[in-house]
Each structure stands twice: as C-alpha cells, then as structure tokens.
Amino acid sequence: MQLDRRNLLILFGWTALLLASSQVYPSFMAHDEGNYALESRFMLESGEWLGRRFWDSVLFTHGILLNWLIMLSYQLFDLPSLSADWAVRVTRLPTFSACLLAVALTYMVGKQIFEQQRWPYAQNAARLGLLSGLLIMLFPVWMQFSHLATQDIMLVSVELLAIWALLRAEVQTAKKKRLTLGFLAGTMFGLGFLIKTFMVVLPAIALLPYLIFEQRRHRHLTNWGIYIGLIVGFIPAALWIGFSVAQYGSWVLDSMFGKLVELSDQPYHSDGGLFYYFWNIPVNMFPWALFSVIGAGIVLRQPRFWTGLSSFKPQAAYPHRWLLLYPFILTALLMAFATKTPYYALQLHPFLAWFAAVGLYQIATQPLGWPRHLLSYSFSALGLIVVGIAIASYLISFGFLVDVRPYAPIGLVLGIGWALLPVFQNRAQQWLATWLVPVWLALGMAGVGGFLGNYSARTQAAATTEPIASLVQDTPMNFILSPEQPSALHKDLIILAFHTPRIGQLNPPIETMSAGTYVWVGKGEEVFKGEQLDRTQADVRDGRSQFSPNPISPGPHGEINYETVIELDNWRLIRL
C-alpha cells in the first residue's frame, strides 16, 4: 500500500505538471473542443440541457455527459466573470480530471495484471505499472487529447475503471465486495454510452472473450452485481433519450442512429484504408511504438501462453491472457469500422503503454547487451542530428530552418537528452530515465511555448482585447457566414462566438437590423461585393430571427451600406 501511494504521487506529479504546462497561454482548438465549449455555453444560457445546442439548432449526434460536466464547471466558476484564459482552463477541467484517473488506472490495472501472471515480470509488477503510467503521458496523441475538452480521454477512463473493477472482483472472497465491484463495472458501460454513445460497444465486445473463456476462474457472468450495474448505469441514458424524444420528437433517434450508420459506411479520412492503424499508430507514437511491438512480442511468445486458448478450462500460468489480447481484438474491430481517426486508437493506449513498459524494461535489464547498444547509439545519432538542426536554425536564416527556429529550444533539450543514452546504457534506471525525462521536458516546453493547448491565440486575442473588447461588452454581436465558406472561417466563428459576452443571431436577415448594429461577417465572394454587403447571397438558416423595430432600408439592388470597424484574417466586424 505504501508503495502504491508513492507511485501514484509520482504519477500525479508527472501528469499534473504536463497538463499545467499547456495552460500558461491556453486557447481552444475550434474543432471539436471549441464546439463542445460553445454548445455547453448555449445550453447553460438557454436552460435547455437535453440536447447540444448551436444557436437555435439542437444536436443529438454524440453523447451528452461531457457537455453536462462543462456546464457544471461553468456554473461552479461563474463563466461570465472569467477571463478568456480561465474560461478555456475551466472548460478543460473535466478532461484533466479524467486524464489523472486514467493514468492512475493504467498503473493499477497494469500492476495487477503483471503480478498475477507466472512469468519473470511478476516480481517487478509495480515497476512495470509505474513505467507504463509514466509512458502513456509521453504518447503524443494521448498528450494532445489530454489537453482538450473532448470525449475521448473520458471514455478511456471509464473503460479502465470497468476493467479495474472486474480485476478487483476476481480476488475478493466476500460476496458483498464482489457484488459492489461488479456493480461498478456494470455502471461504467452506461456511463460510457452517455459519453460517446455507441462507441462504448466496441470495447464491450472486445471484453467478451475474457468474460466467457475465463468464466470458471473469475465467475463474473454469475455476479449479479454486473447485471444490476448495467441496468442502473443505463437508466440515466434511457431517461435522457426518453425526455429528448418527448420534447423534440423521434428525429432524435434518427440523429443518433444516423450518425452511427454514417460513421460505419463512410470513411472520415481519404487515407482511412483497412490498415490505417498499422501506420498511423507507429507514426503518432514514435518512438514508443517500437517498444510496444517488442513488449507485445515478448508477452505473446511466453511459454504456454497460447495453450488451450479457446478452452473454458482455467489456465493457471496466464489467467489474464484474454485481457492481454484485448487490444488486438479492439484493433480488429476498429479496423472493420469505416471511419478511422487517430483518437479512436486512444482506447488502445493503456495497453500499448503496458507492452512498451515490458519491452523497455526487458531491454534495460537483460544481460544481452546488443539491443541496448543498438538503440542507444541509433537514438544518440538521431539526437545529435536534432541538436545540429536546432543550432543551425539560429545561425542560418534560410529555407526550412526559418520555420524550425521556434522549435529549436525543444529540439535542443530532446536531442541532448537522447545523445546521452550511450553514457548510461549499462545502468538500467539511469538509461530508462534518459529515455523518458528528455521527452517529458520537451513536451512541457512545448506546452509552455504554446505549441500544445494554444490553438487559436490570434482569434481569441482579437475577440478579447481592444478595440473589440469594449464594443462587444454590452452589445449583442450577430454573425453571418455562408456554409460554403472554407472551414477556417467556421473555426474562427466558434472562437469569436464563445468569447463574445452577448451572442446575437447566426445568419439573420440583415435588412431587418437597425442602424448601428454590429455584425461579424466572414470574408468571401458569397458575402462581399466590393465595399457593399450583398445579403441575397448569404444563407439564412435561422427562421426565428427577431425583427428590429427600426429596420434598415436596403438599396434598390439589395445593397446595404456599412462601416468596417476592424478586419481580421478571415472576418470583418462591421457596423450597419
């Protein structure tokens, strides 16, 4: 227990400092983080909590729990009183909490699995669990999404909590504790549905071989707590859907199931082929994917690991082998899904961290030295190359080196750290630290430097500083943007609207507005003709616009005169 407490404190410090590093200068990533933030603000201000709101539109394409938690954060911290930076931090608070929980569970679940297998790593289970918890925060995609107010890290945390509860229930002799832990595991699937609706089905399917083939050992399928937990866990989701259908109609169900069919039939990326994850995961996990492959090979090649795999007879040597095979089953399910994205693979990251910990620890401690020497000198050479490029970017203002210069300090820290690998190759703990610490420092510097967590700095600054800040403080701001406009304009729309104290209407008929009204207008030929606004080419999507008592009079051809107050890259603030 004392060891667990110490290791958890190390992990919390390691994780919290990385999360805090990106919050020095925070701003939203417009899609999808900014969407969730703006939707939650609309929900809070309208008092309508059933559907995700975007002006007058109500959406049911995703789960609702994240929006509820963001709304709760806004209420607790009084969103209108917050500065722009603190509004972003408060929005991300649910994800930060989920990330801390997921890292702790990566340690605890990994430790429990490692110590219960009959292999040489059982005696080092705590070290491997700690190493996996440290590693997962260094996976680039995990690190990025841990800083974003999106659903993905939260979904992984409830999946890990369900697995942890199942593992704890295995070793409990008291019936009441088994029922309680089974109940906890069951409720997590209902909670997962509230987070990301049908995406929770894939991990549930991947768990079935563990539940079925190892039933004689763990007896989960006869644990009534799991079934009661499933029922209780889905009650909030059922109430949410029921109230939503009662208020908005059956199209709510069409929206939910329609999104599932759309994602199942149409690939999200043009490169989302069958083997998408076979190249995407290694690229996004460099260099840790190499150690995950090595660790997975070590685990899968253990003697008697495959003996009687499909038998219902308990296997004493590797009682959790179906859990160790879980990521491969889930990968196959994700590959069969037409839509493929890097963040779907986040559900695999705790398992990849466990395999990477095994691979890295084995190489660091085994008597056979050539793998350690090969990796040390290879990555030392890579580190020296990175250092050389970083130094050259300061000395030469030419070509790609100009673009590299802002990242040079990060490259120096990472490169120098990896260049020292050969120095410590015969000292296991120092060698492991030389792999991890430079990456941790580099990611922390990237966060402080604004490369992580600061995605729309210019737009946020424009919306919250003078001269715009004083204009928007007490005046509703309307927005006009045609759907045909480039995605960059839609992203700016999210940021500008969220940081506007009084949000007006989206695409109202301009001729109904009174003189002196302020409007954000996206640039583009569909909106502007010379110096005059042609409203006839803009898309009117809000059928419930409020008509002004003193409407402005358009010219004979529909042109309306205006004054440009300020001009951004993609938007103009005009006064009619």
Q: How far is Cα 422 from Cα 416, in angstroms, rounded to an integer?
A: 12
Would you state the pLDDT for residue 353?
97
Q: What is the pTM of this model?
A: 0.90
Instruction: Say which DSSP state 346 is in.
Output: G
pLDDT computed for residue 557 by the predictor: 52
Size of the chain, expressed as the number of residues it contains:
576
CB–CB of 490/539 below 8 Å?
no
Edge-to-edge order in the sheet of strand 571-575: 503-506, 477-480, 518-522, 571-575, 563-567
- Say if residues 457 and 450 touch (Cβ distance below 8 Å): yes
Ordered per-residue pLDDT tens for the chain, 576 residues: 677 899 999 999 999 999 999 999 999 998 889 999 999 999 999 999 999 999 988 988 889 999 999 999 999 999 999 999 999 999 999 999 999 999 999 999 999 999 888 777 778 899 999 999 999 999 999 999 999 999 999 999 999 999 999 999 998 888 899 999 999 999 999 999 999 988 899 999 999 999 999 888 889 999 999 999 999 999 999 999 999 999 999 888 888 876 565 555 555 554 567 788 999 999 999 999 999 999 999 999 888 888 777 777 766 667 888 999 999 999 999 988 878 888 999 999 999 999 999 999 999 998 888 899 999 999 999 999 999 999 999 998 888 888 899 999 999 999 999 999 999 999 999 999 999 999 999 999 999 998 999 999 999 998 898 888 888 888 888 988 877 777 788 889 999 999 999 998 888 887 777 888 888 888 763 443 333 344 333 333 333 333 333 444 455 555 567 788 888 888 888 888
Q: Work out the end-to-end distance of the chain between its first and last CA atoms, rounded to an integer number of angstroms.
A: 68
What are the C-alpha distances in Å from 114 to residues 106, 111, 493? 12, 5, 49
Q: Are 527 and 537 in contact (CB under 8 A)?
A: yes
| Per-residue pLDDT, 535 | 39
Pair 356, 288: CB distance under 8 Å: yes
125-162 pLDDT, tens digit each: 999 999 999 999 999 999 999 999 999 999 999 999 99
222 C-beta neighbours (distance < 10 Å), count: 11
- Peptide bond preceding 509: is omega within 30 degrees of 0, i.e. cis? no
For residue 257, which amino acid is it? Answer: F
CA dihedral (424, 425, 426, 431) positive or negative:
positive
Q: What is the per-residue burial (b if ≥16 Cβ within 10 Å, else e) of 505-527?
A: bbbbbbbbbeeebbbbbbbbebb
Report the distance separating Cα 398 and Cα 153, nearest Å: 40
Question: Is residue 494 within 8 Å of 28, Cβ to Cβ?
Answer: yes
Contact between 558 and 536 under an 8 Å Cβ cutoff? The reply is: yes
H or E stretch covering 384: helix 370-395
Domain boundaries, given as residue ranges, for the chain: 2-361, 371-448, 462-575
The answer to whether 438 and 417 are in contact (CB under 8 A) is yes
**230 and 186 Cβ atoms separated by less than 8 Å:** yes
Q: Which residues contact 204 (CB under 8 A, 6 or more apart)?
A: 189
Output the CA–CA distances (angstroms, integers) from residue 212 to 217, 310, 322, in the order listed. Answer: 10, 10, 10
Q: How far apart are the C-alpha atoms of 292 and 534, rounded to whole Å?
A: 57
The token duo for 562 is: 């205006």
A 10 A CB-CB count for 252 gives: 22
Question: What is d(CA 230, CA 186) in angstroms, rounded to the nearest whole number?
Answer: 4
The label of the residue with tokens 């941790």 reads: 440
* Strands of 24-180, DSSP E: 52-54, 57-59
Mean pLDDT taken over the chain:
87
Sheet holding 528-529, edge to edge: 528-529, 532-534, 559-560
Place of tokens 């007896």: 219
Question: Diameter of the chain by CA atoms?
Answer: 88
pLDDT at 408: 94
Q: Which pLDDT belongs to residue 265?
A: 56
Distance CA 162, CA 188 (A): 6
Q: Of all residues in the chain, what percent are helix, strand and coil, respectively (each to 5)?
A: 65, 5, 30
Name 572's Cβ contacts closer than 8 Å, sequence gap at least 6.
520, 521, 523, 564, 565, 566
* Under 8 Å between Cβ of 106 and 132: yes
Closest to 503 (Cα-Cα) out of 522, 519, 523: 519
